[in-house]
Structure formats: structure tokens, C-alpha cells
Structure 1
Amino acid sequence: MSYPNYGPSYYGPPPQTHPNGTTILVLGILSLVVCAILGPFAWNMGTKALREIDSSGYIYENRGMIQAGRICGIVSTCLMLAVVGLYAIMFVFFGGMALLGGVSSSL
């Protein structure tokens, strides 16, 4: 007598959901769209959550959400640092020109 195959069977507990998965994804997306200052928080929380997942030995079903939020946080942080660096360079350049008299203020 043969039994029908109903798909893969799991030996052990069913996959769990990491409690911070949705928060990390939302922070990552908001850091790209609305406020870049949220990027480092998404990056940090995502890294911690991935370490917890790797060290726990359990299967989590929302690992992809955590990775996506972390990557969005990394991209947002890098863009924010690039913009801050650009502003710093412009400040030094135009400030130096003003100090050296390169920009005339008389009309």
C-alpha cells in the first residue's frame, strides 16, 4: 500500500516569525523614502536580528524581510553620508573663497 505525497514534511517545530522583522523592513523603507536618519537604526537592528537568527538554530520565515530592511538601511546611510560629505566640501570650498576674497559682496 502506498501513501500519497502531500509535499515536504518538516521534522521539528514549524518556522517562526522574528518579532522585529516588520519593524526593520518599515524602518528601512522609510529611511529611503522619507527620513534618511532612520537608516542606521534599520541597519543596526537588522544586523542584530540576523545574528539572533543565525545563533538560534530555528528556522525563521521572515529572514528575507530582515535582510531587505537591513540593505535599505545600508543604502540610505551611505547616501546620507555622501550628501553630508558633499555639503562639507561645499562649505569648505565656498567658505575658503569668502575668506580669501574670491567672492565679492559689493554690487
Structure 2
Amino acid sequence: MTTNDPPPYPGEPNPSTNNPQNPPPLPSYGSTPEPPPGSYPPPPPGSYPPPPPGGYPPPAPGGYGAPPESNKKALWSMITGIISLFCCGVVLGPVAIVLSNQAKSEIAATGGAQPGAGQAKAGLILGIIGIVGWVIFLLVRLSTINA
């Protein structure tokens, strides 16, 4: 310990015993270090089978294909139906209804293989609600202006 080093704290090892000139020996190359206390021991040698020669085998033929793409008109009927609830219901409501009916006929033509029937139904219902809601809103608004 030099004169500039602080004194050791109680319970800490004396820095003079940790000589940087004489560090503990490193494990040899390829040796397995000891696991920390409380951890699982390493598996015994030879417990795992060796990998197959030449790497992994190729995947099995077939498998799952890409999912079918949903009907775009059904998606847009639902989107316009949602928007018709908040603005321009008198204009966007009929658009949602027409797109919904077109999407239903396209889905029926594929024999139900194309998904989107639920979106088309939602677009139809939301389009009707949008039209009715905006008609009621306009009637109430006009009646309060004239009163």
C-alpha cells in the first residue's frame, strides 16, 4: 500500500493480498470452466447424438400455403361504413352498401374460398346505420333551425 491509497474498509480484503503482478492462473484452452455454485452441471459427454452428416435433412414436401387474400371490396365496404358513422353518412353509407353487395357476390362466386364475408356484412350494416343516423341527425338539425 502506498501513501496515496485509502485504507481498506472493514470486511474487504486487503489490497496488498491482490497482487496485480501475480494474477490467478487462467484455465487451459479447451477445458471446461467450473460452473458457478448453484447452477446446473454440464451434460455428460456423449449424452447428445451427433448431428446428421451433411447437415439437416430438407423439409418435407407440401406444407401450408400462403393464406388466401381477403376480398378488397369487403375491406373497403367496412372502412367506408365506419367512416359513414362519423361524417358524410348520406354519401358514404350507400358506397359501403354497394361495395358490400359486390364483395358478397364475388365471395359467393369463389364458393366461399375467399375470406371477407364478415367484413362485407359489417360494411353493409355500418352503411345502413350511417345513412339512418345521418338522416335522423339532419332532420333534428333542420327542425331546430326552423323552430
- Is the pair's TM-score, using the shorter chain for normalization, greater than 0.5? yes
Q: Which amino acid aligns with 2:78?
A: L
Query: Which of residues 125, 128, 133 in structure 2 aligns to 1:71?
Result: 125
Query: Which of residues 22, 34, 40 in structure 1 aligns to 2:87?
Result: 34
Aligned-residue Cα RMSD (Å) equals 2.6
- 1:8-67 per-residue CA deviation (whole Å, 9 max, x = no partner) reads xxxxxx744212222111111111123323111111110121122223324222211121
Percent identity at matched positions? 27
- 1:66-90 per-residue CA deviation (whole Å, 9 max, x = no partner) reads 21122111100111222334455x2
Where do 1:1-107 residues align within 5 Å? 15-36=68-89, 37-87=91-141, 90=143, 94=147
1:4 is aligned to none
Structure with the larger helix share: 1
Distance 2:76 2:100 in 1: 9
**Contact conserved, 1:15 with 1:58, CA < 8 A, in 2?**
no
Q: Which has the higher contact order (CA 8 A, sep 6+)?
A: 1
Q: What's the secondary structure of 2:83's corresponding residue?
A: helix
Q: Which runs of 4+ in 1 moved over 6 A?
A: none
Q: Which amino acid aligns with 1:17?
A: S
Distance 1:17 1:76 in 2: 24
Larger radius of gyration, structure 1 or 2?
2
Aligned length, in residue pairs: 80
**Contact conserved, 1:21 with 1:65, CA < 8 A, in 2?**
yes
